[in-house]
Amino acid sequence: MALNLKVKVHPVVLFQIVDAYERRNVDAHRVIGTLMGTVDKGVVEVTNSFGVPHKEYEDTVEADIVYAADMFKMNQKVNRSEQIVGWWATGNEVTTHSSTIHEYYLMECNNPVHITLDTTLKNDNMGLKAYVSTQIGVPGGKTGNMFINVPIEVTCYQPETVGLSLCQKTVAVGQKCQEPIAELVQIEEASSKISDLLEVVLSYIDKVLASSDCNAADNSHIGRILLDLMHSVPHVTPDRFEEMFNSNVKDLLMVITLSQLTKTQLELNEKLTLLSLS
């Protein structure tokens, strides 16, 4: 078992786990499911998941593996690049039944990862952990499995970032529903956020220049990051930048106008069709 794996999980997987936990049976204390994604150069990227019905008793555990196989086949029809990479369970720790469930996924994929999500919000935190299993024991004697923590982080595609931003707004305004905002409003919010971040960077630079007691190693590391950031910005004159920005805004407005015109034409055609039929 390679212990140098790194797990990256997408927000949609976390939403699916929480949704499965909310829809669990009344007598169920834990929910499990299959993780799907890709493995590349020691990085396991989890992009999808689905729940698997199961029941846990004191000494045994029963899981509907036929349902799991059918769900995997249906997912393959949608996205063949996604393969089984492991399994997930709700809770904040590995239980006595985890080894039994893990043995099943060892037959489905190589080196499956196990992710736990604490839906009970212990310590006011939804703890997210990832494990791999390695075999331990004495040669010629009894053997067993031990779960070892591996690094895990949440990663996002650009559309997922937009969705998460809308979800965060529901917390501030206290509303469960939030309408998608217009493109120009998104540009305004992004520009305002960039301006605030630049103010933070300038404040930090002024603080470092004015003080001689700061940690030199930390300043050197952050300085290199800021230097790389400055080198990544294209060298464009203000006039050229304004011209490019205005051109992009005009293109955006043209697309909005054409989409609204198309929508109006479709609605008018629908009404004319209904009148002709009547």
- The string of DSSP letters for 183-228 reads HHHHHHHHHHHHHHHHHHHHHHHHHHHH-S-S-HHHHHHHHHHHHH
Q: CA distances (Å), 38 to each of 31, 58, 270, in order?
A: 23, 34, 45
Residue 220's pLDDT is what?
79
Say how many C-beta atoms besides its own lie within 10 A of residue 237's C-beta: 8
Query: Higher confidence at residue 175 or residue 229?
Result: 229
Radius of gyration of the chain (CA): 26
Residue 44's pLDDT is what?
92
Residue 264's pLDDT is what?
92
How far apart CA 215 and CA 246 sit, in angstroms, is 43
The answer to which of 18-22, 87-91, 186-190 has the lowest mean pLDDT is 186-190
Give the position of tokens 């103010």. Answer: 199
2 CA to centre of own chain: 24
How far apart CA 143 and CA 133 sit, in angstroms, is 13
Say how many C-beta atoms besides its own lie within 10 A of residue 15's C-beta: 15
Question: In this structure, are residues 276 and 270 in contact, taking their beta carbons and an 8 Å threshold?
Answer: no
Q: What is the pLDDT of residues 131-152, one digit of tens each?
A: 998 877 777 767 677 888 899 9
Residue 130's pLDDT is what?
92
How far apart CA 125 and CA 144 sit, in angstroms, is 31
Q: Where are the alpha helices (DSSP H) in the chain?
A: 11-22, 65-78, 98-108, 158-173, 183-210, 216-232, 238-277
Residue 121's pLDDT is what?
79
List all residues 6 or more positions away from 97 whose beta carbon is below 8 Å from its beta carbon: 56, 61
- Domain 6-154 belongs to what architecture? 3-Layer(aba) Sandwich (3.40)
Q: What is the pLDDT of residues 180-214, one digit of tens each?
A: 777 777 788 888 988 998 899 888 888 888 876 65
Residue 168's pLDDT is what?
75
Given a cut of 50, is residue 1 above it in pLDDT?
A: no
Question: Angle at CA 90, nearest 5°, toward 87 and 93?
Answer: 95
How far apart CA 169 and CA 171 sit, in angstroms, is 5
The pLDDT confidence band at residue 66, using thresholds 50, 70 and 90, is very high
For 152-169, what is the mean pLDDT? 82
How is residue 112 written in tokens? 């499956």
How far apart CA 270 and CA 46 sit, in angstroms, is 43
Q: What is the pLDDT of residues 24-51, one digit of tens each?
A: 888 888 899 999 999 988 899 999 999 9
How far apart CA 38 and CA 109 sit, in angstroms, is 11
